Structure 1
Amino acid sequence: MKISSVIGATLVAAIAYLSFWPVEIEPTAWVPPTPTQETARNQALKGIKRIGLNVGVGPEGISFDAAGRIYAGYVDGRVVRFSADGQSHEELANTGGRPWGTFAAEDGSAVLVADAVKGLLRVTPGKVELLTNESDGVPFRLTDDVVQAKSGIIYFSDASSKYGLDKMMADVFEHGAYGRLLSHDPQTHKTKTLASGLHVANGVTLGPDEAYVLVSETLQYRVMRYWLKGPKAGQFEPFIENLPGFPDNISYNGRDGFWLAIFAPRDELFDRILPYPALLKAVYRIPEAIRPKAAKHARVLKLDLNGKVVADLQDATDGAYAPITSVRERGASLYFGSIEYPSIGQRPLP
């Protein structure tokens, strides 16, 4: 048999596989907005200091207590507390799942954990308590981030009510509206769905005076605002749209704005196939090991209180601390978390 015939038969078989092999996703067509003019690349995040290097992999969401101690969860299930200088650490507990978002109590007595596998948890030294793992009878499949108001009410996100940790990319390619913004009252033990139909509900944070809560809607390239107080209470609206990448965790700096982690830049090819469900299925059929990966590009945006970008800090050089999935301002520094990197990051404010 001629080599050309073998190659031809292989190509035909590959095309047939990519076109017809059954997959679990049913993609929804979406035409993404035309990207706005990109900010020129910069290296403002170059030289990020590594804290707790190789203590664990993937400190996805970080938080602080009043003493400046740093809290993070790792891929092996550990929830770890670092000293304020980052020189020492202790394991508080192991959730047995995958802790993502964290929110530490001011006195450090407990830390709320959005565990992608287990649900919303409260962790104290040596103890893991389940607060909730469903809303309206629908279980959480990918609990993502968490914040607590002074009233005690907890606000958190469930990235997907359909796909779990082992099928995250299915949600990306299906572009389904399975994400939710939720609240939980520790006193009444009631969990409420504040907003549903989100395309991967990700980072959450409270705004000034806790008048509203923001939630990143990753696959729509935007951040949404849910009003908690005032004449708009109960309304859900865009805070910023048409972002230059996939928004992840977001945090309020307590003064003049928010810091937003950008997991990766938008991909032109991916944007082009989003309107075509058949193409999305075909690409999803490609084995994950050889499927195109998101670019390693460290990036965070600062948003003012009106949702306008006022700073764009980046680093796309070799060895960049990337991907960045959370960012918090404390004192004169920014601190960073990553779903993949084996350390927490820290850099003085520009």
Structure 2
Amino acid sequence: MELHFKDGAFSKLKNKKRFVSIAIIAATAAILCAILPGPLGGLKYYPVKHQIAPLKSVLPKWPSRNDSLLQFASIEFQDRLFGPESIEFDPQGNGPYTGLGDGRIVRWMPDRGWETFALSSINWNREECDNGDDPRRRVRNEHVCGRPLGLRFDPRSGDLYIADSYYGLLVVGPKGGIARPLVSEVEGIPIKFANDLDVHPNGSVYFTDTSTRWNRRLHHMVIVEGENTGRLLRYDPNTGNAVVVLRGLAFANGVQLASDQSFLLVVETTNCRVLKLWLKGNLTGTLEVFADLPGYPDNVRINDKGQFWVAIDCCRNRIQEIMSSTPWLKSLVFRVPVPLSWIMYVVGEKMYSVAALFDKRGRLLRRLEDREARIVKLISEVYEKDGKIWFGTVVHDQITSFILP
């Protein structure tokens, strides 16, 4: 028997089949997402909602001019510098010093080249910690060898304070050696991800613990979740104790005191902003937003004029804004069984580095960038000294410099 369908009935049947096919594909994808580990390697994570200033409110305050001056920067050091993060000079002006991915703090000596100044872990050994020619070893063994991120000299004593991601707050004398542990936990909670620090003239040290959930090796999870377990801590050398100054920070990162110590800046990377904590005057204890940014900030450093350089991975987009306010969508996206690099490329698009200079009131004074990433790529810190800017480029294993025009 031959069946004959009217045009309308056939169209309805075809639409029904299409709907069923889509439903089957969606159900299969959901099952695969539930079964397969996904790009996060089976890690259990719990995305949360967090608020960042909308780009439409930030960009009008951000100059649109793009002169890409940083394309004229110079790569100073590249060979065997695996993961230089923070840049520092000692009280005598020697340096730069920087912390590496193999657990060493090294310094540049013009007559001798790079030499090991200090180790952040007593467990450091050549077999497990020496990178050789394979920088991937720095990640595999950094929990043993240490991962020095923040570096600051105390100008009075010449001691170097170190924020080591795995070993907490450390200190080493002017002659270097193996650093001495100072703080590894605060209020009974271990320091899981020490990141940056600054030394107050009274000797106390302010430093950040990026997350109480994730360590440095899994730092991307802090942003993926949007969690806010980061802390700002303060160590008192007179008592040997440390206290929590701020809690509830979303990826607590760079720290910088004002030149008169009236306030302190702390970077909140996930929320794309820099916060100001007043330490003196009528506003003591008050926390306010210093600057909302178009991208993800890392460290903040002061220059000799009392202005602040912020290293920014630029720029965030509308997709990232939507995901920050819809954790269920983020949860779904990061369970799709494709390589994490694919997702990050789609979500993050092409990122480039920006060095932004602010005055003490949070007003933008200058913007330096290299949009094509010809020279400067993913900077972690901007350090100005005698009209010359130094960049720690943690991912691309180089230290770059730029002469301010």
* Fold shared by both chains (TM-score > 0.5): yes
For residues 1-350 of structure 1, the aligned pairs below 5 Å read 13-18=28-33, 23-35=43-55, 36-37=58-59, 39-68=64-93, 69-83=95-109, 88-95=113-120, 96-106=145-155, 109-124=158-173, 125-241=176-292, 243-286=293-336, 287-293=339-345, 294=348, 295-350=350-405
Post-superposition shift, 1:248? 0.9
For residues 107 and 127 of structure 1, the distance between their equivalents in structure 2, rounded to whole angstroms, comes to 20
**1:52 touches 1:87 (CA, 8 Å); kept in 2?**
no
Aligned residue for 1:234, secondary structure, equals coil
**2:90 touches 2:158 (CA, 8 Å); kept in 1?**
no
For residues 333 and 178 of structure 1, the distance between their equivalents in structure 2, rounded to whole angstroms, comes to 36
Deviation by residue 1:326-347 (Cα, 9 ceiling, x = unmatched): 0011001111112212121111
Deviation by residue 1:67-106 (Cα, 9 ceiling, x = unmatched): 32211101111111113x6972210123221111111243
Structure in which a larger fraction of residues adopt helix: 2
Structure in which a larger fraction of residues adopt strand: 1
> What is the number of residues matched between the two proteins?
344
For residues 129 and 223 of structure 1, the distance between their equivalents in structure 2, rounded to whole angstroms, comes to 30
Deviation by residue 1:124-156 (Cα, 9 ceiling, x = unmatched): 422111110111111111111011011111011
For residues 54 and 226 of structure 2, the distance between their equivalents in structure 1, rounded to whole angstroms, comes to 18
Aligned residue for 1:208, secondary structure, equals coil
Post-superposition shift, 1:314? 0.5
The 10-residue stretch of structure 1 (289-298 or 177-186) with the greater mean CA deviation from structure 2: 289-298
**1:298 touches 1:320 (CA, 8 Å); kept in 2?**
no
- Tell me: CA distance 1:314–1:190, structure 2 relative to 1, closer, same or farther (3 Å): same
The 10-residue stretch of structure 1 (174-183 or 290-299) with the greater mean CA deviation from structure 2: 290-299
Look at both structures and tell me which one has the larger radius of gyration over its CA atoms. Answer: 2
- Tell me: CA distance 1:206–1:13, structure 2 relative to 1, closer, same or farther (3 Å): same
Aligned residue for 1:291, secondary structure, equals helix
TM-score (norm 1): 0.90
Aligned residue for 1:176, secondary structure, equals coil
Deviation by residue 1:3-33 (Cα, 9 ceiling, x = unmatched): xxxx998875444333676752211123433
Aligned residue for 2:332, secondary structure, equals helix
For residues 373 and 304 of structure 2, the distance between their equivalents in structure 1, rounded to whole angstroms, comes to 33
Deviation by residue 1:285-324 (Cα, 9 ceiling, x = unmatched): 2442433245341211000110011111110224332101
Post-superposition shift, 1:159? 0.7
**1:180 touches 1:198 (CA, 8 Å); kept in 2?**
yes
For residues 356 and 111 of structure 2, the distance between their equivalents in structure 1, rounded to whole angstroms, comes to 24
Aligned residue for 2:256, secondary structure, equals strand
**2:303 touches 2:383 (CA, 8 Å); kept in 1?**
yes
Aligned residue for 1:210, secondary structure, equals coil
The 10-residue stretch of structure 1 (296-305 or 103-112) with the greater mean CA deviation from structure 2: 103-112
For residues 263 and 242 of structure 2, the distance between their equivalents in structure 1, rounded to whole angstroms, comes to 18
**2:252 touches 2:269 (CA, 8 Å); kept in 1?**
yes
Aligned CA RMSD, in angstroms, stands at 2.5
Q: Which residue of 2 aligns with 1:4?
A: none
For residues 268 and 57 of structure 1, the distance between their equivalents in structure 2, rounded to whole angstroms, comes to 33
For residues 166 and 51 of structure 1, the distance between their equivalents in structure 2, rounded to whole angstroms, comes to 27
For residues 90 and 108 of structure 1, the distance between their equivalents in structure 2, rounded to whole angstroms, comes to 22
**2:54 touches 2:321 (CA, 8 Å); kept in 1?**
no
**1:93 touches 1:126 (CA, 8 Å); kept in 2?**
yes
**1:23 touches 1:281 (CA, 8 Å); kept in 2?**
no
**2:307 touches 2:360 (CA, 8 Å); kept in 1?**
yes
The 10-residue stretch of structure 1 (71-80 or 294-303) with the greater mean CA deviation from structure 2: 294-303
The 10-residue stretch of structure 1 (160-169 or 140-149) with the greater mean CA deviation from structure 2: 160-169
5+ unaligned residues in a row in structure 1: which ranges? 1-6
**1:79 touches 1:93 (CA, 8 Å); kept in 2?**
yes
